[in-house]
Chains A and B, each alone.
Chain A
Amino acid sequence: MSESKAAIKAWTGAQRRMGLRSARPSILIGLATGLIGAFQMWCIACLLGPVLSGLVGQASQSTPPAWPLIGFAVAACVRIVLGIVGETASARAGRVARSRLRREVLTTFVGNGPAILRHAHSGALAALVVDRIESLDGYFTRWAPASVLWIAVPFCLLLVTLCVQPHAALILGICGAAVPFAQAAFGIGAAVASRNQFLAMTRLQARFLDRVRGIATIVLSGRTEDEATRLQAAADELRQRTMKILRVAFLSSASIDCAMVVALILIALTDGRHAALMAQGGDTGAFRHLVTDSLFALLIVPEFFAPLRSLALAYQDRALVQGAAEDVLALPEAPQPAQGQTVRSVEAHGITIAFENVSFTWDEARGPALDHVSFVAPAGETLILAGPSGSGKSTIMELLLGFVKPESGRITFNGADMQTIVPDALARMISWIGQKPVLFAGSLRENILFARPDATEEELAAAVHAAAVDRFLDVLPDGLETMIGEGGFGLSGGQAQRIAIARAYLRNAPILLLDEPTAHLDPTTEADVFESLIRLTLRRTVILASHSTAVHMFHGRRVDLSHGHVSVCQESA
């Protein structure tokens, strides 16, 4: 636990350093804006001072000097321009930071492969990349500059006030110093509350995505009302948690309001009394001076507290980073690619795959999925894995795809241990067709070209024909350009599978893994598909896992598996 805390600290520390570096322009601009604001207030005081004191001192009703007005106007223009530039700069820093974080997280996802889904729900992962990182924007645009400015600007203004009106500076200093204490007391609570709030938020999102995916099942079971009630409960929980954070945030900004109001009233009262005393003294020069200074002190109060207020508003942004740190660090680390040799011959003689005493266990409680399994798939031949579900066929596929590693024993490709082959080279050698292909958002063409984006139009057409995709192109509204929805609506299971087969044709790899490719097809279509597949298996090393009776269409060795053991190993006719 302390280790993970240290990791979170290190991660947030790194983010803070990068945030501060990119926030430098915003910080300088913020400082300049604060000082310009002070100058504007000085202009106002210099204008109002003589007017107010002139009224009492019976001095001549001369027009006050015009310079404060001009100074105020010029400063106003500079302030507006600086404001626009500063805001643009901090928005840029936020964008750069979010891009960087997204790339980091996504690279971890890809590095982990399908195992990432064992770690978290896809809705939760999407929420991490999209919403969680989006929510960090405020950290880089608001918190990073505010974390410096909240102390720098009031400090500068305090110095200025000290030169002008020492006792007002004292009041400001005391009221200002009270704020950080209140902040610290409330801030810790905000950080804790925020982590829980994000948990609730992610849970709500994951729940909703899951329920939306299965909404037909919910509706047809007549459970819409129950699920709606549960969603209501989840949303209520979210509200309560959010309110917990907000209560703290509002309390901390109320404490600033409070300090400001106290400072304002104290300065107004004490300076007013001073001025009243001085007015009786009759020294008009000193009186005018005092009134000007006091006015300045009064006017500077909102400027003094403004950066503190921005910090209070940005405080929850900091808490968000800590929450994000936990999620990002909880992701499993991507396994380091092994440095090894590639297999020497790829196309020329084909590849022989051998399992040598391979064992693998998914879950200790359920026993080994594979127990000392050995067999050989000779180059260019087809090997059929048979056996009931749960006998270990899928585990063999997972091992061959490199998603898991054998616990003992080894798998060799042309004699080279699979673990020593560079993953890219391994990926180039293998093509795979599973039970249900994932179809991505996009056109049918993009989905087929997914296997090899640089394929020519002829190669695409050949693959489309070979996989019999062209047989159903006519009924699609836009042929190959038809957009495919989630899970491939508008395509039947058989049609979706043909897309996967077209991908494999396009891929043209020396090894072909077929994992129950016809499980969802009717016998006629299955026969057609098998026919296409048989053509695809020519001169390739094929491992076919299937319990279909039509599997006799394939010629090759047959390995019968049961409970993770090889029960029969035979040469097929």
Chain B
Amino acid sequence: MSSSLSHRPDQEKADRAALMRIIEVWKPHAGRLIVGLVLSLLAVIAGLALMSGAGLRFAGTVIGVTVVTTLALRVFGVSRIVLRYAERLYAHDAMFRALATLRVWFFRSLAKGAAAGLGFRRAGDLLSRLVNDVETLDGLYLRLLLPLAGAILTFPVLVVALSRANALLAVLIGCLFAISAFFVPLAAARLSRREGAALAHAQAALRVGVLDLVSGMREIRVFGAGPRMLDRVSLANDRLLARQKHQSRRLALVGGVSQLCTQTAVLLLLAAIAGIGFDRIAPVEGVGLLFLTLTAFEGAGSLARAGMLAGNMGAAAQRVVAVADEHPVPHQSVPVATAMPQTFDVLYDHVGFRWREDRPWVYEDFSLDIPAGSRVALLGPSGAGKSTLAALLLKAVYPQKGRILLGGVDIAALPDEWVRRHVAWLSQATHLFDDTIRNNLLLGAPEASEEALWTALDEAAIGDFIRTLPDGLDTWLGEGGVKVSGGQGRRIALARTLLSDAPILVLDEPATGLDAQTEQDFFLTLNRVATGRTVILIAHRLTGVEHLDRVWRIAGGVATAATA
């Protein structure tokens, strides 16, 4: 923690940069956000006018002068109520629009880098980022920018009004206001900056803990780990609460400081009206100023707390922006291809690849030629890097050395979407969504007809099963396909892959979870259905019924021909 002190300027710069990125994402909503701001400022003015008007009116009536007309008072009153309501409604709506945009932007940014799967990032943590951090950011506009703009507007009004009565008083109360509205929030933001990251982290840890508990229930029951896992989640909860305790105590203190400023300002003003310590100011004016001061400080009071949250916003913005910046990039830039390839021969040309700088090479110098329309199998033990070849071909990861050619064109020069439209991949981690079977299938080919769906299902040897379901294609699959067995889910995923009209099919362990008989049936079907397309079959063993042109054994980072 102490090291963060020395990094503070850097951190603040990073915070500011992250917040600017967020504001940039909000650009489409600039108009609405500005209208919200203007409304809020008008409401502030109406509030100031109403309160000082009411005070002046009363004091004036006592001495027999009409300082403020009843009509003016009514106008201030009504406009205060109406403007306040309109401002809150409009500003909140604008903010939620901006937040929705931010959510979608986050998803898109994540998608850019996520083709290879979530990797070391945990889905629970990501969810936490999206939902909580994005929501923390709603304070940026509503709780920080709007009140701050109000305070900046109020400050000169207050000081000018006071200085007409008494210059010393104006300086003193002006200082108190500046402390309450500007310095205390700034100090609070600095203080909470360190807390912000820790708080968000603690909340993410709790969520990951609960997700672990829920999805690992089978293991937990089998190993009698219920109490242990409960303790683990409780610990995460306690950590979060300890952080919150810290924060709430600080919030209370910050609130106390701003209250102190308000009360001192009122005291000074009263002293001036009474003529104690100051030159006495005119009573009627004094009463008006008293009400004005009370209202001005009331607005500033909320800023002190908002400052506390500003630290969290900086951390939240950094986390959200960080996700946008994590995506794989080619190691050397290649000019974008002008013409798309017409043939679909695949060539791995002296490819070198490793997952990270500090991990060993998966391939150092790998070459393999897969002619269009051929059927090949890539065999090898788990961990040999068979799936990596598919990831490379789909541009989910980029090679550090060499290149991959598709129809003679380096795929680095081809648009990602084009490559993925022409290479369909059934990966080992293919995900079934919490949706209907139909929607899961349509993911591969949104335009597919009912007939095409059933053909694909039959080819994947799952059509008969789905016909027996009462809701047929509209059966809800549930999370990760829990409502069907592993093998059935796998076959639905396979049907989804077969539906795509891509000329290259990469099937990574398609028979996982199928029993021996179904597996054979499936490969016999496959021999029939994918004629004319390139089929790259990745497997740890063959059943013997597959029709294959070539069989390659992948081991030690090279492909060696095996008998077909």
Contacts and interface: CB of A to CB of B under 8 A. Distances in A.
A81 B121 CA distance: 45
Contacts of B380: 522
Interface in A475-489: 475, 477, 483, 485-487, 489
Contact of B118 (A63, A261, A486): A486
A210 B479 contact: yes
B56 to A, nearest CB: 9
A213 B131 CA distance: 15
B513 A389 contact: yes
B222 interface: yes
A245 B454 CA distance: 45
A125 B255 contact: no
B118 A213 contact: yes
Interface string A447-490: 00011110000000000000000001001010000010111011
Interface in B472-528: 478-480, 482, 485-488, 496, 500, 509, 512-518
Interface stretch (A8-16, A99-107, A353-361, A409-417): A99-107
A267 to B, nearest CB: 8
Q: Interface extent on B, as a size class? A: 35 or more
A191 B431 CA distance: 37
Given A213-B431, A239-B100, A76 B50 contact: no
A437 B219 contact: yes
Contact of A224 (B108, B381, B434): B108
A111 B262 CA distance: 53
Q: Lowest 7 A-B CB distances belong to which pairs?
A: A522-B540, A214-B431, A272-B61, A235-B100, A76-B263, A91-B248, A239-B96
Contacts of A430: 222
B61 to A, nearest CB: 3
B152 interface: no
Contact of A493 (B127, B213, B382, B469): B382
Contact of B203 (A53, A130, A269, A365): A130
B9 interface: no
Contacts of A92: 245
Interface string B210-252: 1111111111111111101110011001100100110011011
A519 B513 contact: yes
Interface in A204-232: 205-224, 226-228, 231-232
Contacts of A21: none
Interface string A40-73: 0000100110011101100000011010110011
Interface string B198-215: 000001001111111111
Given A243-B92, A507-B223, 5 more contacts: A76-B264, A114-B217, A214-B433, A261-B80, A424-B224
Contact of B61 (A79, A209, A275, A428): A275
B219 A438 contact: yes
Given A83-B259, A216-B114, A389-B518, A235 B62 contact: no
Interface in B399-430: 417, 420-421, 425, 427-430
Among B110, B219, B234, B263, the one with the most A-chain Cβ atoms within 10 Å of its Cβ is: B219
Contacts of B417: 222
Interface centre among A92, A217, A258, A390 (most CB of B within 10 A): A217
B253 interface: yes
B168 interface: no
Interface stretch (B82-90, B157-165, B189-197, B312-320): B82-90
- Of residues B81, B210, B216, B223, which shows the largest number of chain A Cβ atoms within 10 Å of its Cβ? B223
B171 interface: no
Interface string A195-210: 0000000000111111
Contacts of A35: none
A492 B421 CA distance: 27
Given A235-B103, A486-B124, A389 B248 contact: no
B224 A235 contact: no
Interface string B78-121: 00110011001100110011011101100110110011111111
Contacts of A227: 107, 111
Nearest to A227: B107
Interface stretch (A115-123, A147-155, A318-326, A534-542): A115-123
Contacts of A205: 127, 131
Contacts of B203: 130, 134
A196 B91 CA distance: 22
Contact of A216 (B62, B88, B115, B487): B115
A291 to B, nearest CB: 6
A53 B482 CA distance: 81
B interface secondary structure, majority: helix
A102 to B, nearest CB: 6
B213 A109 contact: yes
Contacts of A264: 54, 77
A219 B496 CA distance: 14
A25 B255 CA distance: 19
B271 interface: yes
A453 B245 contact: no
21 contacts: A64-B275, A83-B252, A117-B482, A118-B482, A210-B479, A213-B480, A215-B118, A216-B114, A216-B429, A220-B425, A228-B108, A232-B101, A232-B103, A250-B85, A257-B80, A268-B73, A272-B57, A441-B208, A487-B118, A493-B428, A547-B515
Contact of B120 (A206, A220, A247, A489): A489
A472 B384 CA distance: 12
Interface string B120-157: 11111011101110000000000000000000000000
B337 interface: no
Interface string A414-432: 0000000000100110111
A147 B96 CA distance: 29
B394 interface: yes
Contacts of B229: 110
Interface string B301-325: 0000000000000000000000000
Contacts of B360: 475
Given A51-B274, A130-B203, A208-B127, A485 B118 contact: yes
B267 interface: yes
B342 interface: no
B283 interface: yes
B396 interface: yes
B64 interface: yes
Nearest to B73: A265
A69 B274 contact: yes
B396 A106 contact: no
Contact of A47 (B85, B96, B273): B273
B230 A73 contact: no
A218 B443 contact: yes
A280 to B, nearest CB: 9
Contacts of A76: 260, 263-264, 266-267
User: Which of B58, B110, B480 lies at the interface centre, i.e. has the most chain A CB atoms within 10 A of its CB?
Assistant: B58
A224 B89 contact: no
A451 B223 contact: yes
A179 interface: no
A326 B538 CA distance: 48
Contact of B382 (A63, A102, A279, A520): A520
Nearest to B204: A130
Contacts of B383: 472, 492, 494-495
A561 to B, nearest CB: 11
B70 A269 contact: yes
Interface string A493-533: 11100000001000100000000100111111100000000
B522 to A, nearest CB: 12
A72 B267 contact: yes
A523 B542 CA distance: 10
A126 B210 contact: yes
A205 B123 CA distance: 12
Contacts of A424: 224
A305 to B, nearest CB: 13
Interface string B269-294: 01101111000000110110010001
A153 B208 CA distance: 44
A117 B63 contact: no
